[in-house]
Amino acid sequence: MFSFRLCVLTALLIPLTILPALAQERAYFVTYDHYLEERGNLEIAFATTTGVPKKGDRVYTAPWLEIEYGVTGWWTAELYLEGVTTRGDGNAFTGWRFENRFRPFRNEHRINPVLYVEYESLNEATRIQKEIVGAGRVHFEPIAELRREQAHELEGKLILSSVVGPWNLSENFVFEKNLSASEGVEFGYSVGAARSLGTLASGRSCRFCAENFVVGVEAYGGLGSTVAFEGAEQRHYVAPVVGWHVADRTTFKASAGFGLTENSDRYLLRFGFSYELPTRRGR
């Protein structure tokens, strides 16, 4: 697991996002675009969310493992395994998620829709905050207590993604239903804009060429539920992001999220690494 200090250091990369300048390598941590995994390809990724809360609560780091597979050209499936560690409060395995993304149209359009369905088996200690829905703070009770509270949830997203010149613009609308409790349907959102620093390949092999870097920004948060909007209790963040395509199949990315509301953590610092394995080539 990555220490808090390491996650803070990764945030120092974020000022690169002020540079001017489309790549398929998604720099976002929360927002999805319309690009799916290539058919037959397997991607392994490891990422962390480090939260710096307000009100004196303990700093925490929530790591997760992603295993993504391109089932067909229009269907990508992904398994998540996640955990949490907190200073002075131990650590725990917080559960798993099984995600599916479906792209109904093969060709590029002005707006490219993707349908997302995910089943989650989590406990209340979960803090990766891969999406934020509803309202209220992250739970900060002792990890030993939170891990005993299990929840089964079904989540859907409508993903809309567009290519505008060198930019990718993406909007995600999130709907989540807790199957273990009567909480109504919770809502959330995320939006992102990202671009490559270079629009044309340089024609030579290098790790620091402009086209190997993707920069942008995303914003995300909860929007209450069918029970109550609870505007004053919601969490919202804005986060610059940067991705570095180190080699043909290897990508690093980092993000620093800034909490915009009273219930938001002060900062959400994220770091990720992914490696793609071509298991078989398909059309």
Q: 25: pLDDT confidence band, cut at 50, 70 and 90? A: low
Structure tokens, 116: 């997302």
pLDDT value of residue 259: 98
CA torsion, points 233, 156, 217, 166, in degrees to nearest 10? -160
Across the range 195-222, mean pLDDT stands at 84
Minimum mean pLDDT among 31-45, 141-155, 199-213, 264-278: which range?
199-213
Question: Domain residue spans in the chain?
Answer: 4-278
Closest CA to 44 of 203, 215, 249: 249
Place of tokens 């941590």: 29
Please indicate whether residue 22 or residue 89 has the higher confidence score (pLDDT): 89
Q: Is the pLDDT of residue 37 over 50?
A: yes
What is the domain class of 4-278 according to CATH?
Answer: mainly beta
Q: 200: pLDDT confidence band, cut at 50, 70 and 90? A: low
Across the range 248-270, mean pLDDT stands at 96
pLDDT value of residue 17: 33
pLDDT in tens, 105-162: 989 999 999 999 999 999 999 999 999 999 999 999 999 999 999 999 999 999 999 9
Closest CA to 246 of 217, 198, 206: 206
pLDDT value of residue 281: 54
